[in-house]
Amino acid sequence: MRRHILSSGLCLALVSASWAGRPEKPHPVPGLRIGPDTTVISGPLNELGYPDYIASLNERLGDGVAPDENFWTAYCETLPRNSVGVNFLERLLNCPGFEKACSIPCESYAPAGTNIEAANKQLDASMSRPWKADELPIIARWLEKNQDALTRATEAAARTKAYAPLITTDGSTTLVSVLLPHVQQVRDTARALSARAFLALGEGRGDDAWKDVMTLYRLAGHLERGPFLIGHLVGIAVSSIARIPAEACLVDASASPDVLARRWNELSALLGPETREVTWLESEHFMTLDLTLAIRSGSAETAILLGNVATISPPGSMDDEGLPQIDFRKAHEAFQSMMLKLGDVNETLAFSNQYHARMEAALALPDYLARKAAIEKVAREFHGDATPDHIGSVTAAFFMGGPDAVENLARSSVIRHFAATFAQCNKAEARIITRNRLLHAAFAAELTFRKNGRDVADSKELNAAIEEFSMAADVAPPDMKDPYTGDSFRITSDAERLVVYSVGDNGKSDGGKTFGEGEGCDDLVVVLKRVNASSASKKIP
């Protein structure tokens, strides 16, 4: 029996690989209906008669964004040529407002000839604690070389709007081919700003450090509100980078209570109220539709869009029954690509639209636990047996399914490639919302310490401090509940530190221990270091 199933899988792998690899000339999609229930948008249309989603997004995203108010026109001046590629740069330079792209390039912290191991160690240190130039000379030189680029990035971040033209690989017309080197470069800028903030703290320039922290959060905001999920996630990563120097600024001994209150006010205004606007979802939705139509029309190779197909191990690689070893995961992808070409294309598009509408509603829920449950429910309803997790299930569904088996597999083949992203993104967003709330709580805890010479003792005292100092700092009290439980944040302390923490994704308290501090520990924490009570600044009158 096992040999029969494996033989069926091998047959499926080879047939689907052959199907997926068949060369096609681009052609209109047979039977396609243009409309809100299928293609969602009705124009502009490409030469094959279906919507040009890239042109549509470029038109909408760029509408009303003047070059002198656009974050990306200024930021792209700091892009290094070697990181963006010749094709991308040539096309970017021809876009209005981007004529100066790569004119003030940010240099690498480890250029040719640098001891990479030493540079990496110094970079890690520079982003974790206050330091002086003679302690970390590689990073100090790097920051010195990039002064102009960082100044321009700071100016760019202060702009209110953001639009970067969608540029694809070698003129491809599919959304999955859009290049985002400018988005990825923001990570390097964030590392430099974090290192510079800690250098400023090490040299006693707390206000300069805080300016870089604010720029970091502005950079994060531009990316988090971007049109693609990858940009959104990079924004979350930048926000995580910003958190570390922000926490260091909290315990800056040179900052008076009035200065801390001002910083809290500035940060609150920048972070703004929590919203559930998912700006990247439309583009990701369009990507599923565009992917389906590109494959159905033969305008893009399935193997390029979905990865390599069936792979058979080198000669001589056999299983214990003498059959060739096959990478069934890749065979499964090949089978899915075959399914994309079968069934009613309008049914496949409508199914994707229903799926994304349900996911959009789930992601809009204000509570993390409710979002998590709703996303899991949608995944179960729409995936189920129609999208098998391994080749044996695919074989069974294809060869032993009823008359609807092919249609069901065809409809769900695209969304499977995007399904996991929703749960992952919800998890990442929950962390950043939690860390922002914790930062608010930490400001109140630090101001209490400065005022009373002692720390808050428990969650009740922390909540009272948040309410008191929110009013004093003219900050609207944020929601201070732990998103993972709906309860208050927790407190633990010793003679050297106060820890304000959330229980994290595992839903239980690990006593303020975070990643790497114990098996399974994932509390999200803000650590306020203490030497002794006498280190507090003068009390608030």
Residue type, 320: D
pLDDT greater at residue 406 or residue 169:
169
Select from 431, 455, 429 the least CA-distant residue to 250.
Answer: 455
List the beta bridge partners of residue 106: none
CB of 395 closer than 8 Å to CB of 12: yes
How many domains are there within the chain?
Answer: 1
Per-residue pLDDT band at 478 (split at 50, 70, 90): low
Q: Is the pLDDT confidence value at 320 over 60?
A: no
pLDDT computed for residue 332 by the predictor? 44
Q: Has residue 382 been placed in a domain? A: no
Token readout for 421 is: 């992203």
Q: Are 454 and 539 in contact (CB under 8 A)?
A: no
Four-residue CA torsion sign, 462, 463, 468, 472: positive
Residue 419 confidence (pLDDT): 63
Residue 36: inside a domain: no
The per-residue pLDDT for 190 is 98
The HSE-up count of residue 105 (CA atoms within 13 Å, CB side) is 10
C-alpha–C-alpha distance, residues 274 and 219, integer Å: 17
Q: What is the pLDDT of residues 76-119, one digit of tens each?
A: 999 999 989 899 999 999 999 999 999 999 999 988 888 999 99
- Provide the domain limits for residue 155: 53-255
Evaluate whether residue 207 is within a structural domain.
Answer: yes
Report the distance separating Cα 200 and Cα 133, nearest Å.
10
Q: How far apart are the first and last CA of the chain?
A: 83
Q: Does some domain include residue 130?
A: yes
Residue 150 to residue 172: CA distance in whole angstroms: 33
Kindly state whether residue 117 falls inside one of the protein's structural domains.
yes
Reported as a single tens digit per residue, the pLDDT across 5-18 is: 334 343 434 344 44
- Tell me the DSSP string of 252-321: -TTS-HHHHHHHHHHHHHHH-S-----TTHHHHHHHHHHHHHHHHHTSS-HHHHH-----BPPTT-B-TT
In a domain, 422, yes or no: no
Any domain includes 229: yes
* pLDDT number for residue 411: 55
DSSP classification of residue 490 = E
Q: Is residue 461 part of a domain?
A: no
Amino acid, res. 57: L
